[in-house]
Amino acid sequence: MLEKLAPQKPDALLALIKLYAADDRADKIDLGVGVYRDNQGNTPVFKAIKAAEQRLFDTQDSKSYLGPEGDMGMVCGLLGHILGEDLAKDLTIDGLQTPGGTGAVRLAADTLYAAGARRIWLGTPSWPNHAPIFTASQFEVLTYRHMDVATQSLDMEALLSSLYKAEDGDVVLLHGCCHNPTGVDYTAEQWAHIVEIMAEKRLFPLVDFAYHGLGQGFEEDSAGLKTVLARLPQAMIAYSCDKNFGMYRDRVGALYAVAQDDAVMATTKSNMAALARANWSMPPDHGGAAVRIILDDAELTQMWRDEVAEMRSRMRWVRDTLAAAGTAGSVDFAPLATQNGMFSMLPLSPEQIQALRDDHAIYMAGSGRINIAGLTEGNIGKFIEAVAAVSG
């Protein structure tokens, strides 16, 4: 049986981590893997998480099963931050905890498939795991062009013409904010335009929200999602806490559904729970419990939001510093200041990316995606010079 399996390519970014670790040049720079780094290049545990974990350690008296919904205190506590308290109360919305944003996207795919959806539209480029997840859930994956990498700007015309080709009942995946890998988010007008066509064509929105708070601010980052929810009767939101609580390996996320009435909502939730049970039975508890403790405590919540604000402003500093450098060789850094979040894509050829690695010990994805947070006061100058050297 097992001999019939075809070998699978190792994940390119994980392979890059190994190459980076094996490089003994002292001034090497890792712009590959998508984790936040501070100005010292570290990915520390949030202070608010440390405090919550201590409280969990002191007070948790059982680790017995919670059930497929996971920690509903966390799931409900997040909603006020995602939507604001008023909208969270007005909408017919419910959700459950998932193993990270990945689990949320997978559970959304399985639930939508069970509801009869068969086709999903993904922007290109998108997070490389989107297409495999939907393929694994039996979807036909269709793509729309999102960004023109050469000009580093949104290709709205291509996006809209794809949406016009979509059919009633197709699912469209939209990045809530801090688009991975391009950093290019939609303006308020662009969101409104996209949502209007989706309403007209009766397309179903799945909003992947993995970087909330890391773009312009918590409220600003959910403006697009709110536009979706204001116009379309149903939606799903795949939320990750792995970046904005720094919980990567603890796998904390949530999947929400919005429905037009309580009956549809209850049936949807029962399907989500049944599919979660079939997939992973229940999500890991520790990280979700720590997030719940933070959200239940005003002081810890403030501490958490301040830590996210610090990350956001550091990444803004990186973007502004690159933009102030103007061009380096053939690369124009100016558009990076208008983009958001942890990633941007540079118009570099595979040869130039290889030269950055070989000659300058700078590691980035083969697509040209850079992790903005990999740049610090100590290495940003070297990075700009190296880009100029390989692309000039």
Residues forming the active site = 127, 208, 243
Interface segment toward ligand PMP; rule CB under 6 A; list 50-58, 100-108, 217-225, 270-278: 100-108
Residue number, 77 or 253, with CB nearest to ligand PMP: 253
**What are the structure tokens assigned to 193, written together?**
């335009």
> Which H or E run contains 370?
strand 369-371
Residue number, 240 or 339, with CB nearest to ligand PMP: 240
HSE-CB for 7 with a 13 A CA cutoff: 2
- When binding is defined by CB under 6 A, the residue of 29, 195, 198, 210 that contacts ligand PMP is 210
Residue-wise DSSP of 68-137: TT--HHHHHHHHHHHH-HHHHHHS-EEEEEEEHHHHHHHHHHHHHHHTT--EEEEEES--TTHHHHHHHT
Q: How far is the CB of 343 from ligand PMP (least distance, A)?
A: 8
Q: How many residues bind ligand PMP (CB under 6 A)?
A: 13
CB-based contact 389:360 (threshold 8 Å): yes
At position 95, the amino acid (one-letter code) is G
Interface segment toward ligand PMP; rule CB under 6 A; list 49-57, 95-103, 267-275, 292-300: 95-103
Residue 307: how many CB atoms within 10 A of its CB?
19
Among residue numbers 149 through 188, which ones bind ligand PMP (CB under 6 A)? 175, 180
CB-based contact 100:240 (threshold 8 Å): yes
> Which H or E run contains 154?
strand 153-154
**What are the structure tokens assigned to 71, written together?**
């920690």
Residue number, 68 or 100, with CB nearest to ligand PMP: 100
Nearest CA among 200, 190, 145, 192 for reference residue 168: 200
Q: How far is the CB of 86 from ligand PMP (least distance, A)?
A: 27
Interface segment toward ligand PMP; rule CB under 6 A; list 59-67, 99-107, 298-306, 309-317: 99-107
Mark 250-289 with x for binding to ligand PMP (rule: CB under 6 A) and - for no binding.
---x------------------------------------
Mark 117-156 with x for binding to ligand PMP (rule: CB under 6 A) and - for no binding.
----------x-----------------------------
Angle between helices 72-83 and 286-295 in degrees, nearest 10: 50
Rounded alpha-carbon distances, angstroms, from residue 348 to 315, 320, 361: 21, 20, 16
Q: How far is the CB of 210 from ligand PMP (least distance, A)?
A: 4
Q: How far is the CB of 180 from ligand PMP (least distance, A)?
A: 4
Mark 291-330 with x for binding to ligand PMP (rule: CB under 6 A) and - for no binding.
----------------------------------------
Interface segment toward ligand PMP; rule CB under 6 A; list 42-50, 98-106, 153-161, 309-317: 98-106
Residue number, 204 or 239, with CB nearest to ligand PMP: 239
For 95, list phi and psi in degrees, rounded to 5. Answer: -160, -175
Find residue 252's DSSP bridge partners: 99
Interface segment toward ligand PMP; rule CB under 6 A; list 58-66, 101-109, 272-280, 346-354: 101-109
Residue number, 127 or 256, with CB nearest to ligand PMP: 127
| Cβ neighbours of residue 91 closer than 8 Å, sequence gap 6 or more | 83, 229, 258
101 binds ligand PMP (CB under 6 A): yes
How big is the CA angle at 164 (ends 161 and 168), to the nearest 5 degrees?
155
- When binding is defined by CB under 6 A, the residue of 208, 250, 285, 307 that contacts ligand PMP is 208
Q: How far is the CB of 101 from ligand PMP (least distance, A)?
A: 3
Residue number, 253 or 283, with CB nearest to ligand PMP: 253
Q: Which long-range contacts (CB under 8 A, 24 or more apart) does 301-307 make?
A: 301/48, 303/47, 303/48, 303/51, 304/46, 304/48, 304/49, 304/245, 305/213, 305/218, 307/46, 307/47, 307/48
95 binds ligand PMP (CB under 6 A): no
Which residues of this protein are in contact with ligand PMP, per CB under 6 A?
A: 34, 100-102, 105, 127, 175, 180, 208, 210, 240, 242, 253
